[in-house]
């Protein structure tokens, strides 16, 4: 965010591009203005911008394809890949029958991790204790008589209790629970002291906004951790994993690298080579529920359902199978029942299943390019409203940045597609 502001002071051409009447040595805007500008875009606006980019990209591909000669014998290594592209893969033919499906829809879901430290119960409680101590100090500074309500425990000893367990490589569960119990006791005393200070006349209005907002989160954290300490389960609805980004929730992914990720979960369909953001949610959900709405969205835009839907096994449910059967949609995945006795039919089914799995590489490529090149693997936005507007823009970038998959072979568009977000 700070690079454009600094460059415009030194680069004359950038100031000319921004529309300055003359050269100026002053910074044209504060870096925080970019955040306010991004917050003006709602999720609906970003989806509309994404659709406009896709429409423009299709027009550029059609124009490039029409300009190619019929007998192209170029030595360009990418020429063969370009020739694999057919206009029917992007634009529905005008004479296509109304009662016949067209196109391919590829869908998948992923998580966009937020920029937070890995949360543990003991670490969260220690941070909450230190934050409440800071709030108590600010409230006691409002009047000298308020100091008698300060909790009388050694803060250094309370931190030593935390560090004694946190610095161990593999502490036993019994020691962790004992340390959590001690931190909960310290936190409860701090919360009682804050209530006593408020009853004595101290005002939370004297605190900064983020402090009393954090105090509300700490109260909920204390309630959740008190339940988890004595309950047999280790999960609780709407679990808090960060005191600042209170909207972040744990997303169980089951991956080898990270079984649990902390961030927003997104559902991305790739419709005939172009990626879109269908759904973004801070709370975990079953992505199999998005297949039917995405298929109906496809019909709303193209006038018919897709001919084939390539998806992961989590999407292949009984409800989705019945929906695809009623609408003559071929859903990827193994067929129900016993395999056919005819070896040719069985081989054809296996070949089609393998082709569908290769076709799913395009949506995996969207996530890969987005997380490697467009910082989708670490969302730096901290505000609740800023996070959902940053992920769609990055999906729009990686979905139309010039690389894609048509059929089973990776290709590169003849001309680079525009980046408008």
Give the tens place of pLDDT for each residue, 63-108.
887 777 765 555 555 444 444 556 666 777 878 888 899 989 999 9
pLDDT at 11: 65
Of 138 and 1, the one with more pLDDT: 138
* pLDDT for the residue 108: 93
| Per-residue pLDDT at 129 | 95
pLDDT at 414 over 50: no
Q: Is a pLDDT exceeding 60 seen at residue 412?
A: no
Express each pLDDT in 288-299 by its tens digit: 999 999 999 999
Residue 7 has what pLDDT? 52
Mean pLDDT of 398-415: 38
Mean pLDDT of 16-27: 78
Residue 418 and residue 402 in contact, taking contact as beta carbons nearer than 8 Å: no
Predicted local confidence at residue 86, as pLDDT? 62
SS3 for the chain is CHHHHHHHHHCHHHHHHCCCCCCCCCCCCCCHHHHHHHHCCCHHHHHHHHHHHHHHHHHHHHHHHHHCCCCCCCCCCCHHHHHCCCHHHCCCCCCCCCCCCCCEEEEEEEEEEECCCCCCHHHHHHHHHHHHHHHHHHHHCCCHHHHHHCCCCCHHHHHHHHHHHHCCCCCCHHHHHHHHHHHHHHHHHHHHHHHHHHHHCCCHHHCCHHHHHHHHHHHHHHHHHHHHHHCCCCCCCCCCCCCCCCCCCEEECCCCCCCEEEEEEEEEEEECCEECCCEEECCCCCHHHHHHHHHHHHHHHHCCCCCEEECCHHHCCHHHHHHHHHCCCEECCCCCCCCCCCHHHHHHHHHHHHHHHHHCHHHHHHHHHHHHHCCCCCECCCCCCCHHHHHHHHHHHHHCCCEEEECCEEEECCCCCCCCC
**Residue 301 in this model has a pLDDT that exceeds 90:** no
- Report the range of poorest mean pLDDT among 58-67, 158-167, 275-284, 293-302: 58-67
Q: Please state which of the ranges 6-20, 85-99, 220-234 shows the lowest mean pLDDT.
A: 6-20
In whole angstroms, what is the distance from residue 108 CA to residue 400 CA?
Answer: 17
**Of residues 91 and 2, which shows the higher confidence score?**
91
Summarize pLDDT for 193-207 with one digit per residue, the tens: 999 999 988 888 888
Q: How far apart are CA 76 and CA 368, in angstroms?
A: 26
Arithmetic mean of pLDDT, 381-389: 66
Confidence of residue 180 (pLDDT cuts 50, 70, 90): very high
Q: Indicate the pLDDT class of residue 402, thresholds 50, 70 and 90.
A: very low
Query: Tell me, what's the pLDDT at 232?
Result: 80
Using the predicted structure, report yes or no on whether residue 283 has a pLDDT greater than 80: yes
| Predicted pLDDT of residue 3 | 54
Whether residue 189 is predicted with pLDDT greater than 50 in this model: the reply is: yes
How high is the pLDDT of residue 134?
A: 93
- The mean per-residue pLDDT over the stretch 14-39 comes to 77
Q: What is the pLDDT of residues 315-368, one digit of tens each?
A: 999 999 999 999 999 998 888 888 888 888 888 888 888 888 888 888 988 898
Q: Which residue has the higher pLDDT, 414 or 191?
A: 191
- Per DSSP bridges, beta strands 330-331 and 308-310 are parallel
Binning pLDDT at 50, 70 and 90, where does residue 209 land? confident
pLDDT band at 61 (very low <50, low <70, confident <90, very high): confident
Average pLDDT over all residues of the chain: 81
What does the pLDDT read at residue 293?
Answer: 94
Task: Give pLDDT, residue 299.
Answer: 92
Percent of the chain with pLDDT over 70: 83
Looking at per-residue pLDDT, the higher value among 49 and 285 belongs to 285
Q: What percent of the chain has pLDDT over 90?
A: 34
């Amino acid at each position: 965010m700070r690079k454009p502001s600094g460059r415009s002071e030194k680069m004359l051409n950038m100031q000319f591009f921004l529309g300055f009447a003359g050269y100026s040595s002053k910074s044209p805007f504060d870096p925080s203005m970019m955040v306010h500008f991004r917050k003006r875009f709602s999720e609906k606006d970003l989806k509309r911008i994404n659709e406009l980019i896709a429409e423009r990209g299709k027009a550029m591909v059609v124009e490039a394809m029409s300009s190619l000669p019929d007998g192209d014998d170029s030595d360009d290594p990418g020429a063969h890949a370009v020739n694999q592209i057919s206009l029917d893969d992007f634009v529905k033919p005008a004479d296509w029958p109304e009662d016949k499906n067209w196109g391919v829809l590829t869908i998948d879901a992923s998580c966009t991790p937020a920029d937070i430290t890995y949360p543990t119960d003991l670490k969260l409680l220690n941070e909450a204790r230190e934050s409440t101590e800071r709030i108590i100090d600010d409230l006691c500074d409002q009047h000298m008589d308020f100091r008698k309500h300060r909790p009388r425990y050694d803060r250094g000893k309370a931190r030593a209790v935390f560090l004694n367990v946190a610095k161990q490589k593999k502490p036993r569960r019994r020691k962790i629970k004992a340390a959590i119990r001690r931190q909960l006791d310290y936190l409860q005393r701090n919360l009682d002291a804050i209530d006593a200070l408020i009853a004595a006349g101290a005002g939370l209005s004297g605190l900064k906004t983020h402090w009393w907002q954090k105090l509300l989160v700490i109260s909920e954290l204390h309630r959740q951790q008190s339940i988890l300490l004595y309950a047999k389960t280790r999960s609780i609805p709407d679990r808090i994993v960060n005191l600042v980004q209170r909207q972040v929730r744990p997303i169980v992914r089951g991956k080898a690298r990270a079984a649990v990720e902390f961030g927003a979960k997104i559902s991305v369909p790739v419709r005939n080579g172009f990626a879109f953001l269908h759904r973004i949610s801070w709370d975990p959900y079953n992505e199999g529920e998005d297949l039917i709405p995405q298929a109906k969205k496809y019909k709303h835009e193209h006038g018919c359902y897709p001919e084939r839907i390539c998806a992961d096994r989590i999407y292949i449910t009984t409800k989705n199978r019945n929906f695809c059967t009623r609408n003559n949609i071929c859903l990827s995945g193994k067929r129900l029942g016993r395999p056919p006795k005819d070896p040719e039919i069985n081989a054809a089914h296996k070949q089609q299943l393998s082709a569908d799995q290769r076709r799913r590489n395009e949506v995996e490529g969207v996530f890969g390019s987005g997380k490697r090149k467009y910082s989708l693997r670490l969302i730096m936005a901290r505000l609740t409203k800023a996070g959902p507007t940053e992920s769609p823009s990055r999906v729009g970038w990686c979905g139309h940045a010039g690389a894609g998959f048509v059929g089973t072979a990776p290709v590169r568009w003849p001309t680079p597609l525009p980046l408008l977000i």
